[in-house]
Amino acid sequence: MNLFNRLKADCSADWNAYTHHAFVEGMGDGTLPEKSFQHYLVQDYLFLIQFARAHALAVYKARNLAEMRGALEGLKAILDTEMNLHLKLCAEWGLNAEEVENTPEAKPTIAYTRYVLEAGQAGDLLDLFVALSPCMIGYAEIGKRLIALPDGNSDDNPYAVWIREYASDGYQDLATDTGALLDRLAERSLTEARYPQLLELFRQATRLEADFWEMGMTLAD
């Protein structure tokens, strides 16, 4: 079992709560309230700004050129693909880039992104990518599952564009590469004595992901 799957299995209840959250299920069948998704889009854009910084930190923390290039690819994926997708979707929902970028970060956004950045600043690359992996690999898992649902890939589903992006070959490859990177880092510096610390990093990041979804759902109450 690779490191990511081991971490996921060891906090399966938290992982299921994140990847099958009501927000996610609402995207899958198209029933998620529009204002919930709109709020999420804006906050996720602000979230990605901080995650870009986390990947820049990974470039700095890297021990060799191969690791630097890998971190750079993740940074480019955020800056050149994901953020552009978010701005495109925001425009379709009547929000321009200036409005999005000037929106204050919500508390769940601050809590999650600073947690990941702190993990990277205090630890090494393995700590950082364990904290990043629930987002980077989890979104791929969610996208792949949702697009297979009866309404997931329907043109009538207002969230199909989001689902298709994270189900795409490009994003799936990025997630696979992230899992492989975790295994390479683990070969170098993982010990059984260290594993509980990494599991706690992963568990907390997973819970913070669920809190991020929950932020949008509270708007529908």
- Catalytic annotation on 209? yes
Instruction: Give the per-residue pLDDT at 219.
Output: 64
- Is the confidence at residue 218, as pLDDT, over 80? no
Structural domains in the chain, sorted by start: 3-220 (1.20.910.10)
Instruction: Give the per-residue pLDDT at 18.
Output: 98
- Is the confidence at residue 60, as pLDDT, over 60? yes
Mean pLDDT for 192-201 is 97
- Catalytic annotation on 135? yes
Residues 6+ apart with CB under 8 A from 195: none
Task: Kindly name the residue from 11, 90, 135, 141 that is annotated as catalytic.
Answer: 135
Dihedral angle computed from the Cα positions of residues 8, 77, 85 and 29, in that order, rounded to the nearest 10 degrees: -20
Q: Which long-range contacts (CB under 8 A, 24 or more apart) does 18-22 make?
A: 18/134, 18/138, 18/206, 18/207, 18/209, 18/210, 18/213, 19/138, 19/141, 19/142, 19/145, 21/210, 21/213, 21/214, 21/217, 22/213, 22/217
- The more confidently predicted of residues 114 and 174 is 114
Task: Kindly name the residue from 82, 141, 165, 209 that is annotated as catalytic.
Answer: 209
Instruction: Give the per-residue pLDDT at 22.
Output: 96
Tens of pLDDT, residue by residue over 82-110, are 888 888 888 887 888 888 888 999 999 99
Instruction: Give the per-residue pLDDT at 124.
Output: 94
Tens of pLDDT, residue by residue over 143-153, are 999 999 999 99
